[in-house]
Amino acid sequence: MRLLNFGSLNIDKVYRVPHFVRPGETISSESFQCFPGGKGLNQSVAAARAGCQVYHAGTVGQDGEFLLEVLRESGVDIRYVRKGSGVTGHALIQVADSGENSIILFGGSNYENDSDYVDQVLEQFGEGDLLMLQNEMNDLDQVLKKGALKGMKIMLNPSPMDEKLASMDLSCVSWLMLNETEGKAMTGEEVPEQILNVLTERYPGMEVILTLGEEGCVYGFQKLRIKQKAYAVKAVDTTAAGDTFTGYFAAAAAEGKPVDEALSLAARASAIAVTREGASVSIPWRREIM
């Protein structure tokens, strides 16, 4: 199964702060670093470092050449990435001493995709291939529909959640990878089991993977539930923990691994990622996990 990730590429501007800045407050940061990131790029890097054949598509700005480097070095095929005319999407990230983060996004070139470009890329893929998507680019609904029409299996990470996505028909999605906040927005429920019940009843053909932070995650398909614990580690920076989990799970799914093995691999990868600073640069290679 080939994996095409049509996704965002961001420049992450990361500020280490004692606490997240409050309304009306000005604080000094303890350090500043610039990393390659974006949910799309991070998930491609994770899936490729897990050993999957990954193709990335998306639009990068003139200032985003170093983002392509990390994709290349990780073994991602970037022939379908194109350069836009505007600035690359970027993220302003505060990382607090607790390791938690808070993020402001600017979409930039991630919003320059057009239907001709989408068609040209999707033309190269078809039945049996896996299409991975997040919500950091324009026309997500179009790409989703076109991928489904081509018979691709779709994995969606509905992040960042917005009203349009919360009310979208996702019946063509095979795997939905989401966290509790996104689950609440899609179902109105707060309790993880209820979120899973609503989604698995609404979409009987969908496998739902609900991540629960330090509590691990729960997998749901129809009435089946599988729990996976999170590994206890000292978190330095949780940025891209979810992307690492998603990318590793996608790689395992593409390999045809049983769900419990895929969840365990993804949990171990994301545990390592949170012990390191940065987004894509924190993602481990499979040999480190083994």
Which residues of the chain form contacts with ligand RIB (CB under 6 A)?
10, 12, 37-39, 42, 91, 103, 105, 136, 239-240, 242-243, 279
In the bound state with ligand RIB, the residue whose beta carbon lies nearer, of 182 and 243, is: 243
Contact 42, 242 (CB under 8 A): no
Distance set, CA 216 to CA 114, 200, 201, 282 (Å): 37, 19, 22, 19
Asked if 193 and 171 touch (Cβ cutoff 8 Å), the reply is: no
Closest CA to 36 of 20, 13, 58: 13
| Strand partners of residue 80 | 57
- Number of residue whose CB is nearest ligand RIB: 37
Least distance in angstroms from the C-beta of 243 to ligand RIB: 5
Nearer to ligand RIB by C-beta: 88 or 200? 88
Smallest separation, CB 237 to ligand RIB (Å) = 10
Examine the residue annotation and report whether 243 is marked as an active-site residue of this protein. yes
| Burial grade of 173 (CB within 10 A; 0-12, 13-18, 19 or more) | buried
Distance CA 132, CA 110 (A): 15
Structure token digits, residue 198: 């609503």
* Residue 95: closest CA among 38, 20, 24, 10: 20
263-281: b or e for each residue (b if 16 or more CB lie within 10 Å)? bbbbbbbbbbbbeebbbbb
- Residue 38 or 147: which CB sits closer to ligand RIB? 38
Q: CB nearer to ligand RIB: give 39 or 146.
A: 39
β-pairing, 89-96 vs 224-228, is unpaired
Q: Which is nearer to ligand RIB, 189 or 277 (CB)?
A: 277
Nearest distance in Å: CB 7, ligand RIB: 10
What are 230's two structure tokens?
A: 């999170």
Min separation Cβ 66 and ligand RIB, Å? 14
* The residue to which tokens 């095979």 are assigned: 174
Which positions are annotated as active-site residues? 243
